[in-house]
Chain A
Amino acid sequence: MDTNVLFIFILAIFVGIEVISKVPSMLHTPLMSGTNAIHGIILFGGILVLADASTPLAQALGFVAVIFGSANVFGGFMVTDLMLQMFKKKK
């Protein structure tokens, strides 16, 4: 076990809290949707396990994981962008 990873984990917790502490509530929905897209990085996990899959079961489950992860990441970023492009200032 590499303790560096744990170190990064702990720091990331505080960065995550700090970085959104001043978010106005008007942006909570896009923020939730945006962070939702960021955890779509699980697609990588799906790719990694599927690349190494050796049994049909592992391939099937890995395939499902890739579909899920891909829908999460692409759908998440797209829907957030759709929402945010509507925020306009008064002309």
Chain B
Amino acid sequence: MSSTIAFIIIGVSVLFILGIKFLSSPKTARIGNLVAAAGMFIALCVLLKTDGTSVWSHGWSFNYTLIVIGTIIGLIIGAIGAYSVKMTSMPQMVALFNGLGGGAAALVASLEFIKDAKAPVIAGMEIPVAHQSTAFIAGSMLFATLIGSLSFSGSIIAYLKLEGKFEKPMTFPGQNILNGLILLVILGLCGFLTFNATNGNATTAFIVMFCLALFFGVAMVMPIGGADMPVVISLLNSFTGLAVAADGFAINNLAMVVAGTLVGSSGTLLTLLMCKAMNRPVTNVLFGAFGSSGAAQAGAAGVVGTVKPIQADEVALLLAYAQRVVVVPGYGMAVAQAQHSVRELTEELGKRGVEVQFAIHPVAGRMPGHMNVLLAEANVPYDQLIEMEQINPSMDRVDVCLVIGANDVVNPAAREDKSSPIYGMPIIDADHCKTCIVMKRSMAAGFAGIENHLFYKDNTRMLFGDAKASLNARVAAVKAS
């Protein structure tokens, strides 16, 4: 690598780091994304082959035509996906793109591996040095194949689960043991191949390993419930990053090593942050098969009091004469497409001098931060969105708290009921405000299948019905009052 190109690659790495850094503040996030994209483009221009020559300096061949066609097809698929996706389906889209990346990483590694495995056969006794894998290189190719293919199949399952196909965890006795055995076989094959990459049976063993890894991705994600898919996607995202980094080792591309590793480590941290927000260890998410172990019944005991319904015009009066209103939005709001009505209502209240804020639980929506995206789409300014930790201390000074389509994240059982499966999960203290109004379609339990103690509190009123319809009624009522 010439020193000019080395400097450019250093610059590209800095762009990636700055891109991720900028993504961590709402003011600079959009620029951050563009900075990372710019880094990607520069790195493409100086792309080097394993032998150190530029990939663009060779003569044109059929393979280059394929590269251009393939890139354009991918660009079209990506653009259609990106521009047609509804904001509520964002987690699915990320899962899908991640799966494609994982698949690509696995294919790249396998092609390199098979090429190296075949090299001695083609060249007879004279093994070209460039093709003779050291155990380290073979190991990183195998790692990339394993992680990439399980990320591919796992992401597809995660996508299907978020789309509502076999959303329930699929479990059977001895599942963890069986999965463990499969993993053991895979690792055994990898171990064998690492040191026998040029063995006559290497290709067969490799194909078996590849198929098992694909199957393992499915087996790993199937027992996990739809509610935990964001954690799975985040984990698979970091897996793909690591697979890309390993590919970078194998084909000696520094930009890939840096980009892949950054994604791998930041993705791992993000996964842990998400689990922390749900107050569950990551092992519990992956192997716990939450929600299938009779959790639905637990927590129902100990609920005292009755449910008190309220009418829309009463709500309007309460809101119009309140000083401070906090809205706690949940995924149910987005499903009912009610976010625009919510924004209208809050604007109307704002005009009357009511202080309106949104309290965002870290896991509101289907992915951490998903709710912010959904509200941003409805033109809610982001400085009205307050994170849970910031708003909780002042919840007792709130006049009206409006819970729209949220359930588990406002369930006081998480604080009070030691037997509840969500005990210990941080929640928004909606029950601390003066009046709490919960909008709900019915009394059905939330995503985690747990009875909500909030509904039975003395200061809680229930407004039943479709969120959008009752919100529109309330906008009208507030305007009239």
Co-assembled chains A and B: yes
Binding site for B on A (CB under 8 A): 1-2, 5, 8-9, 12-17, 19-53, 58-59, 61-91
Q: What 9 A-B pairs have minimum CB-CB distances, sorted nearest first?
A: A70-B74, A75-B78, A16-B265, A66-B70, A28-B368, A28-B369, A90-B381, A12-B261, A29-B369
Quick one: given A15-B262, A28-B270, are A70 and B241 in contact (CB under 8 Å)?
A: no
Indicate whether B55 reaches chain A with its CB closer than 8 angstroms: yes
Question: What separation, in Å, do the CA atoms of A30 and B372 have in the docked complex?
Answer: 10
**Inside 8 A of A48's CB, which chain B residues have their CB?**
47, 49-50, 55, 108, 251, 253
Partner pick for A90 among B90, B365, B383, CB 8 A cutoff:
B383
Which B residues contact A (CB, under 8 angstroms)? 13, 16-17, 19-21, 23-26, 29-30, 32-34, 36-37, 40, 43-44, 47, 49-50, 55, 58, 62-64, 66-67, 69-75, 77-79, 81-83, 85, 87, 90-91, 93-94, 97-98, 100-101, 103-105, 107-108, 110-112, 114-115, 134, 136-137, 233-234, 237, 240-241, 243-245, 247-249, 251-270, 273-274, 277, 360, 362, 365, 367-370, 372-373, 376-377, 379, 381-385, 387
Question: Do the beta carbons of B108 and A45 come within 8 Å of each other?
Answer: yes
Residues of chain A contacted by B240 (CB below 8 angstroms): 36, 39, 42
Residues from chain B with a CB closer than 8 A to the CB of A42 are: 101, 104-105, 108, 240, 243-244, 247, 256, 260
Whether A78 contacts B82 by the Cβ 8 Å rule is yes
* 7 contacts across the A-B interface (CB closer than 8 A): A12-B257, A17-B268, A26-B369, A51-B55, A63-B66, A87-B382, A90-B381
Do the beta carbons of A72 and B269 come within 8 Å of each other?
no
Most interface-central of A15, A44, A86, A91 (chain B CB within 10 A):
A44
- State which of A27, A34, A49 has its C-beta within 8 Å of the C-beta of B111: A49
Known interface pairs A12-B262, A32-B237. Does A74 touch B111 (Cβ–Cβ under 8 Å)? no
* A39, B105: Cα distance in complex, Å: 9
